[in-house]
Structure 1
Amino acid sequence: MPMSQLPNCLLIVTAEVDAGVEAEWSRWYDEVHLPDALSCPGVLAGRRYCTVGEVSESDRGQGRCTRVKLWTTVYELDSPGAVETKEFHAMRGWGRFAPHVRSQTRVVSTLR
């Protein structure tokens, strides 16, 4: 993608899902959650990825590798305000899967 087409803002969501509900969660994510997110004002695109192999973590110089399945969705936003719309607030969250999901959400808003 040429630099002139890169988004100014990204929303990055990582999720670790309990294996017992992962297939059902994945269907819900693809068929309901992601389409709902993409219909929100200011959400330009979204792509979902799954880890392959080990996940490397570090904390203040201490590192570790784990074999955990992480799902990562990268959303392209027109601005950080896209996550503040009433439509976005209505669709956010994990619904009935909340007790089975450990997640992190980060908004990255400066293209350098």
Structure 2
Amino acid sequence: MRARLPKQNQGGAQNMNAMIRQAQKMQDEISELQEDIESRDFTATAGGGAVSVTVTGKKTVKALEIKPEVVDPEDIEMLQDLIISAVNEAVNQVEATTESEMSKITGGVSLPGLF
């Protein structure tokens, strides 16, 4: 003889199934967004446009442009600093965009390990 679950427990199972479907939908949306962001380019400049860096959404440097007038053999450190600054800014753009767009999907809930 099988025991029947009280009606309230049956509703709990339905609610659990709905939660699982919602979680799967969110996971699919997150995967789609990650692919979209990874396919984008992010560009940042430093030194008033003297150095321009483009990185992919995967945080890989794709392009680096240096205006000739900023190249001073006597001040290589300044050029290095401009490059570092532009790269860091471009990477920060990737991270900020990822965080902002992910929070639209997750409702602002932080899900460690997703991005």
What's the TM-score once normalised by structure 1's chain length? 0.33
Larger of the two Rg values belongs to structure: 2
Between Structure 1 and Structure 2, the one with more helix by share is 2
